[in-house]
Amino acid sequence: MALFGGSRDISLFRKVNRELMGNIISQEVVYYKCDVQETKVNMYGESSGGRVFNPPVLINALVERQDQTAPIENELVGFQWPISFKFLRDDLVDANLVTEIGDFIMWNNGYWEIDNTNANQLFVGKDPNYPYYDDNGNNPLNPGLENFGYNVSIVCTAHYVPADRLNIIKQRL
Amino acid sequence: MANISIWTGTSYFFPGDTPFGYYDYDYQFQTDADKVAKFCAQRLGYPLVDIELQSGSFYTAFEQAVTVYGNELYSFQSRDNYLSVEGASTSSFLNQALVNNNLAPVIRQSYTYAEEAGTGGNIDWYSGSIHLTSSVQDYNLGQWAIDNNVTGGIEVKKIFYDRIPAINQLYSPWAGLGPGATSAVGLTGLAGYGPATNFILMPLSYDLTNVNAIEMSNDVRLSNYSFQLINNKLKIFPIPTDEDHGLKLWFNYIKIEDRINSAIVHDGSKVNNLFKMPYTNPVYMQINSIGRSWIFEYTLALAKEMLGYIRGKYSTVPIPGAEVTLNQSDLLSAATAEKEALIARLREYFDSTSRQALLERKQAESTARQSELNQVPMTIYIG
């Protein structure tokens, strides 16, 4: 039977994380969720009319930035600013937000399109959402496994996108 | 998803919020409980940082601090008063009692000496007798004890095989017979009794001189009745004759095991060790500001320790994409040091007010005062 990483301990972690991210580090991003249903695509799967987004959500994140570069490709000067956004998964759950490839994140007045999402930080190696129940709703080896473990984070890696390529217009400060 | 609440900044104490409830109905404890919780939380950093404790955590620490204070206080009182309270009833508590010094332990100790001297104590002396046999000089009193079902052995305290004491050979000078007739009258059994017909009051030293003279005479001139007792083997002098045959020789003895048994009192209602000293937890409202200040500080140290253990259950806490180490080691080391310092301070404070310390201080004060007075010029008043 599992002993460590119980829900009380996880509650402490959650509080420490929210205090750290919300009150101490206080980095925030604006998350634009792509509305797939509202986005019109042609027969080739292209959204010639541009993508449609749900209303933005302000959320805490740890922003890990790499250096900005300006590579020359096809005799054109580009701009790259690789970045990763690290979210506390519980914050996303509370915001009813699912991170997916193709969503946009605004930070520091720049926009990044998500290339990949990673939910692979499991405390004590367990995700309480997967307690391995049998048909009767029991886990014969570890009853109550849904109360142990913690799926801590979702890490999104993204690439920089110039604002003029988006249908997002800043209307007010 | 469990969401355990932590300190919110305010609390409202209700009886039953502490684990043991020793002081829950003391209204000053109730009042101070919330204040102490706020004090501790703010000393730990709230509201600038979250404190992962609940009001119940602070109440628990507060209750423990009061109890530790009481333990230290009454441990000191127990040590200081033990000799005066040993053997007292455990039924009445001493928290409010003024315990004065008494001689009970000294008297108890003196019993053992009195027993050996035959002047008191709490060991029974028994009488026994043997029949003298003609021409038999040696008698085994140890065997006598076995024959008379006295278990554990005996120790003979007195053998009634001696000449008449010198005092019994001295007839009272008050009888008017004069010192010359004293020996003869003593033998009739009238020794020591005087009808007060002599109207010359002789000094007591005169009687003592006579008694000593008679005793010396008996020792030197009349080497008659005597005995030797080694390992309960009695050898009497002179050797009994046919006339002595069948006479009883009396002796006093004690049972050896009584010496130990009399020193052990089986009474569960009496104080017989430090942990039966009848002290209870203190009454919080009677603790003065000095004591309360100590309690607040000790509560803080306990709260700090609790917070350290909470933050240190896991060496690191996962955050998105990384881990952080909280300040558990700082909290624990600080709490341990503070607790030790507070206990040491309290013990030093108590020890400096022990009876012994106070008497020594008083003596020092007296000496100093005398020394000071010696410096005062003694002027001669000329009228």
Average pLDDT estimate for A88-108: 95
Q: Do A16 and B313 touch (CB under 8 A)?
A: no
Residue A171 pLDDT more than 80? no
Secondary structure in 3-state letters for B105-160? HHHHHHHHHHHHHCCCCCCCCEEEEEECCCCCCEEEHHHHHHHCCCCCCEEEEEEC
Q: Would you state the pLDDT for residue A17?
A: 95
Residues in chain B with pLDDT values less than 50: 180
pLDDT at A68: 93
Task: Please name the member of B2, B4, B319 whose beta carbon is closest to the beta carbon of A17.
Answer: B319
> Letter for the amino acid at B285?
M
| B334 close contact with A: CB closer than 8 A | no
How far is Cα A118 from Cα A157, in angstroms, rounded to an integer?
8
> What integer is the mean pLDDT of A74-97?
94
A12 and B322 in contact by Cβ < 8 A?
no
How close B332 gets to chain A, by Cα (Å)? 18
**Whole-number Å distance between alpha carbons of A148 and A141:** 14
ipTM over 0.90: no
Rounded CA gap, B310 and A19, in Å? Answer: 16
| Cβ-nearest to B50 among A15, A21, A89 | A15
Picking from B35, B55, B31, B53, the residue whose alpha carbon sits closest to that of residue B44 is B53
Task: Flag if A17 and B317 touch (Cβ within 8 Å).
Answer: yes
Do the beta carbons of residue B274 and residue B95 sit within 8 Å?
Answer: no
Instruction: Answer with the residue of higher pLDDT: A52 or B25.
Output: B25
Half-sphere exposure at residue B38, Cβ-oriented, CA atoms within 13 angstroms: 10
Look at residue B308 in the predicted model and tell me its pLDDT: 96
Q: How many helices (H) and strands (E) does chain B have?
A: 10, 8
C-beta atoms of B319 and A84 within 8 A: no
Contact B141/B230 with Cβ under 8 angstroms? no
Residue of B317, B324, B326 for testing the chain A interface, max A β-carbons within 10 Å: B317
Distance CA B83, CA B271 (A): 10
- What is the C-alpha to C-alpha distance for residues B354 and A14, in angstroms, rounded to an integer? 52
Cβ of A147 and B2 within 8 Å? yes
Tokens (6 digits) for B51: 């404190």
pLDDT on residue B340: 98
Distance from CA of B293 to the nearest CA of A (A): 31
Nearest in space to B125 (alpha carbons), one of B148, B149, B159: B159
Mean pLDDT of A99-106: 94
Across the interface, of A16, A21, A23, the residue whose CB is closest to B317 is A16
Describe the crossing of helices B104-117 and B55-85 by its angle, rounded to 10 degrees. 40
Distance CA A129, CA B320 (A): 18
pLDDT of residue A163: 83
**Region of residue B340 (left: phi > 0; alpha: psi -120 to 50; beta: else):** alpha
The Cα B310–Cα B93 span in angstroms is: 39
- Reading the block at residue B205, the tokens are 């030293």
In whole angstroms, give the CA distance from residue B232 to residue B152. 13
Closest approach of A16 to chain B, Cα-based (Å): 8
Structure tokens at B282: 């203190």
Distance of alpha carbon B2 from alpha carbon A123, whole angstroms: 16
The length of chain B in residues reads 383
The pLDDT value recorded for residue B188 is: 57
What's the CA gap between A126 and B98, in Å, rounded? 63
**Residues of chain A whose C-beta is under 8 A from some C-beta in B?**
7-17, 19-21, 23, 61-62, 64, 84, 86-90, 121, 123, 147, 150, 152-155
Highest mean pLDDT among A39-53, A57-71, B149-163: A57-71
pLDDT band at A13 (very low <50, low <70, confident <90, very high): very high
Q: Does B46 touch chain A (CB under 8 A)?
A: no
Contacts of B324 in chain A (CB under 8 A): 16, 20
Chain A residue with minimal CA distance to B50? A19
pLDDT band at A137 (very low <50, low <70, confident <90, very high): confident
Q: What is the pLDDT of residue A51?
A: 82
